[in-house]
């Protein structure tokens, strides 16, 4: 059969097949099955679908391997069969295609996030994609199709993986929304230019939307991208009909729009979810009736990929940021948002902090997975009613990436600037263990997101207009059980753009100093703010030691609290404050700030910890010049 590059260069429109999953489902394969496994277990089903598409006129068959990577197959216990499933997928399609059609090795997203928004490195992603591509290549594919990607960073690694083992042509397709952007916000023109630069032979879109939205994007891309365009829309948007998702676009409608796409210059058309061989037949007829429009290629300067802008200087973002930038010692107290709708008691405590001259108020975000007033609303109340800057603990547990983006843009508009970005405690820790966690990204990915916003870019690399001006902080646990793992994550956070860090509550100066020695040896120079927790009783100490992840309370501290609490309640409180003051005094020469937790919301107890700070007046609790 001819080389697929001849089709790329012949200037004529060509036809991909339609949905594999739709057809398998219609033949009784339920959605809880691994469709890729059918290549091994029920190959005749897959073969019959391929055969129907060839009869309908498809010139390119996609292998039944969209989800056949190690990550997705592991959900079914099939990770050991990656190679076998992909080899067989290619062989089945090749058997049916004969000399009538080309076989494209289909590769979809991994099903997890990669850096900068996830824990999987680019190198690990390349290895996973390469493993799948090697099986498809062994099975006899004549080209590769990378499809249904939302993250340009991920499809780039897939393309690198394929190029590392083969010089076969590659069709690279992204998913767009109705507005012509990916789910991460990348404009179609931007990702089309990126795919071109990265070496894709055909650039296009598939899935998610119907042909109308793809036609509008094709109109924008035609003439500004020097690669052939492809479009494989769904059969319209699905509708709920008696509990089932039904794709409503008729074969005639898809055929009509295939003609429109071709007239706009799209060279490769086909179908995605909801399409059948009947849709393919109508699209085949459209191909026979039309030829693509030939246009010159020129990229308007106003539509080139957006460049990031220089962030607002740290000192100009907030009072908190100015003190960090100047190397001054900062003080903050962590309060707890109200359980209900009345913030009065909390605000009274915050007023005490302002009167004492504390620099900021740390506002946790659903601490220990408990249901409390939202962190952004709480922080806005504090800033507007009391006039002291909040430091917002913003966690990943409850929001997907787009929800976080919306929150952060809103926080910027509301004048909230100081962020402490954390992953968040799992719901099972709290009173609602059946609540679901999102964890779309972790604290490292969130730090990357905020750093990009500070450069005027959304997750997809599109401009947001005026850049945000957040002060970017992260958490770190000097007492982590797996210290090396914690350090690796901390380094990645700093690399992602962290500008300061607040530790988990520390009760052992040796643990804190080990952490500080480690980062100083590595040359990390961001301000470290020590977390200090004044214990109030032996039970409080034992609870923190045994039931709060990430907090390490040495046995010697617990024993001190037991002895004091055995004398009386007040003695236990006094001993806890003394331990906190001793911890702060020991740490003072090596830290740039302190966060004191207000135990059970008791702000006066937290303020007493500051009495050991040089320049702090314990009578009025008004700080003088910080000498630390």
Q: What is the mean pLDDT of residues 49-63?
A: 96
The residue written with tokens 């990390």 in the block is: 524
Q: Work out the end-to-end distance of the chain between its first and last CA atoms, rounded to an integer number of angstroms.
A: 77
> Where is pLDDT greater, at 401 or 146?
146
Q: Is 424 exposed, middle or buried (0-12, 13-18, 19+ CB in 10 A)?
A: buried
In this predicted structure, what is the pLDDT of residue 628?
Answer: 33
> Where is pLDDT greater, at 29 or 164?
164
Instruction: Round to whole Å and give the CA distance between 217 and 214.
Output: 5
Q: What is the mean pLDDT of residues 196-204?
A: 96
Q: What is the mean pLDDT of residues 132-154?
A: 96
In this predicted structure, what is the pLDDT of residue 293?
Answer: 46
Q: Domains (ranges, CATH) in the chain? A: 4-303 (3.20.20.330), 322-616 (3.20.20.220)
What are the structure tokens assigned to 407, written together? 């929150």
pLDDT tens by residue, 535-580: 999 999 998 888 777 788 899 999 999 999 999 999 999 999 999 9
User: Whose CA is closest to 57, among 279, 257, 235, 281?
Assistant: 281
Of the chain, the percentage scoring pLDDT greater than 90 comes to 67
What are the structure tokens assigned to 411, written together? 């926080």
> Where is pLDDT greater, at 625 or 492?
492
Neighbours of 13 (CB within 10 A): 26
Instruction: Round to whole Å and give the CA distance between 564 and 557.
Output: 11
Average pLDDT taken over every residue of the chain: 88
Assign residue 384 a region (left: φ > 0; alpha: ψ between -120 and 50; beta: otherwise).
alpha
In this predicted structure, what is the pLDDT of residue 571?
Answer: 95
Q: Are 64 and 37 in contact (CB under 8 A)?
A: no
Q: Does residue 428 carry a pLDDT above 60?
A: no
Q: Does residue 366 carry a pLDDT above 80?
A: no
Q: Residue 599 carries which DSSP code?
A: G
Q: What is the mean pLDDT of residues 106-130?
A: 92
Please give the backbone phi and psi of residue 394, each rounded to the nearest 5 degrees, phi first.
Answer: -120, 120
Q: Does residue 301 carry a pLDDT above 70?
A: no
The sign one gets for the Cα dihedral 368, 372, 377, 383 is: negative
pLDDT tens by residue, 455-481: 999 887 888 999 999 999 999 999 888
Q: Are 456 and 308 in contact (CB under 8 A)?
A: yes
Of the chain, the percentage scoring pLDDT greater than 70 comes to 90
In this predicted structure, what is the pLDDT of residue 290?
Answer: 64
Q: Does residue 527 carry a pLDDT above 80?
A: yes
Q: Residue 16 carries which DSSP code?
A: B
- DSSP assignment string, 351-412: HHHHHHT-SEEEE-SSGGG---S-HHHHHHHIIIII--EEEEEEESTT--HHHHHHHHHHHH
In this predicted structure, what is the pLDDT of residue 128?
Answer: 97
In this predicted structure, what is the pLDDT of residue 210?
Answer: 84
| Confidence bin at 624 (pLDDT 50/70/90) | very low
Q: Are 357 and 330 in contact (CB under 8 A)?
A: no
Q: 3-class DSSP state for residue 30?
A: coil
Q: Does residue 69 carry a pLDDT above 70?
A: yes
Q: Are 262 and 292 in contact (CB under 8 A)?
A: yes
Instruction: Round to whole Å and give the CA distance between 368 and 259.
Output: 56
- DSSP assignment string, 581-621: HHHHHHHGGG-SEEEEE-GGG-HHHHHHHGGGSTTEETTTT
What global pTM score does this model have? Answer: 0.73
Q: Report CA 96 to chain centroid distance, whole Å.
A: 40
- Least confident interval from 281-290, 298-307, 500-509: 298-307
Q: Does residue 208 carry a pLDDT above 70?
A: yes
In this predicted structure, what is the pLDDT of residue 380?
Answer: 96
pLDDT tens by residue, 172-186: 999 998 888 888 888
pLDDT tens by residue, 367-397: 655 677 889 999 999 999 999 999 999 988 7
Instruction: Round to whole Å and give the CA distance between 609 and 611.
Output: 5
């Amino acid at each position: 059969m001819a080389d697929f590059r001849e089709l790329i260069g012949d200037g004529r429109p060509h036809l991909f097949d339609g949905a594999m999953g739709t057809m398998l489902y219609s033949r009784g394969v339920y959605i809880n099955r691994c469709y890729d496994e059918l290549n091994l277990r029920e190959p005749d089903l897959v073969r019959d679908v391929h055969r129907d598409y060839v009869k309908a006129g498809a010139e390119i068959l996609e292998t039944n391997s969209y989800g056949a990577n190690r990550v997705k197959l592991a959900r079914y216990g099939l990770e050991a069969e990656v190679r076998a499933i992909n080899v067989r997928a290619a062989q089945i399609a090749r058997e049916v295609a004969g000399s009538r059609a080309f076989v494209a090795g289909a590769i979809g997203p991994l099903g997890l996030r990669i850096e900068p928004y996830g824990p999987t490195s680019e190198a690990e992603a390349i290895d996973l994609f390469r493993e799948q591509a090697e099986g498809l290549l062994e099975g006899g594919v004549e080209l590769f199709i990378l499809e249904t990607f939302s993250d340009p960073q991920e499809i780039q690694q897939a393309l690198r993986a394929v190029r590392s083992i083969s010089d076969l042509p590659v069709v690279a397709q992204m998913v767009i929304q109705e507005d012509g952007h990916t789910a991460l916000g990348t404009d179609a023109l931007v990702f089309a230019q990126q795919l071109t630069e990265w070496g894709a032979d055909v650039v296009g879109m598939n899935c998610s939307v119907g042909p109308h939205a793809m036609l509008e994007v094709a109109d924008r891309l035609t003439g500004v991208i020097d690669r052939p365009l492809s479009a494989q829309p769904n059969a319209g948007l699905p509708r709920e009909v008696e509990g089932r998702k039904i794709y409503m676009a008729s074969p005639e409608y898809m055929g009509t729009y295939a003609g429109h796409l071709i007239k706009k210059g799209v060279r490769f058309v086909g179908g995605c979810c909801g399409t059948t061989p009947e849709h393919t037949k109508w699209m085949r007829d459209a191909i026979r009736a039309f030829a693509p429009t030939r246009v010159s290629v020129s990229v308007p300067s106003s539509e080139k990929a957006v460049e990031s802008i220089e962030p607002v200087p740290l000192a100009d973002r907030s009072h908190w940021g100015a003190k960090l930038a100047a190397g001054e010692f900062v003080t903050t107290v962590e309060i707890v948002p109200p359980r209900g709708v009345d913030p009065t008691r909390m605000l009274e405590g915050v007023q005490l902090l302002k009167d004492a001259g504390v620099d900021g108020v740390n506002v946790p975000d659903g601490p220990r997975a408990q249901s409390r007033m939202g962190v952004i609303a709480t922080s806005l109340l504090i800033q507007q009613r009391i006039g002291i800057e909040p430091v917002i603990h913003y966690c990943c547990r409850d929001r997907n990436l787009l929800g976080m983006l919306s929150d952060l843009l809103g926080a910027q508009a509301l004048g909230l600037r100081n962020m402490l970005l954390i992953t968040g405690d799992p719901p099972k820790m709290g009173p609602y263990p059946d609540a679901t966690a999102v964890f779309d990204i972790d604290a490292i990915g969130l730090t990357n997101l905020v750093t990009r916003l500070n450069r005027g870019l959304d997750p997809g690399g599109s401009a947001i207009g005026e850049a945000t001006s957040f002060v970017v902080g992260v958490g770190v646990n000097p007492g982590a059980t797996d210290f090396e793992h914690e350090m690796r994550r901390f380094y990645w956070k700093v690399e992602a753009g962290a500008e300061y860090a607040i530790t988990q509550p520390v009760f052992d100066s040796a643990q804190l100093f080990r952490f500080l020695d480690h980062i100083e040896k590595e040359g990390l120079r961001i301000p470290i703010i020590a977390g200090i927790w004044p214990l109030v009783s032996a039970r409080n100490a034992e609870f923190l030691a045994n039931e709060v992840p990430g907090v390490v309370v040495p046995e010697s501290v617990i024993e001190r609290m037991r002895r004091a609490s055995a004398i009386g309640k007040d003695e236990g409180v006094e001993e806890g404050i003394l331990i906190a003051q001793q911890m702060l005094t020991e740490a003072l020469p090596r830290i740039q700030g302190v966060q004191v937790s207000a135990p059970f919301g008791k702000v006066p107890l937290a303020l007493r910890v500051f009495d050991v700070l040089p320049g702090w007046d314990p009578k009025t609790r008004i700080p003088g010049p910080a000498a630390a």
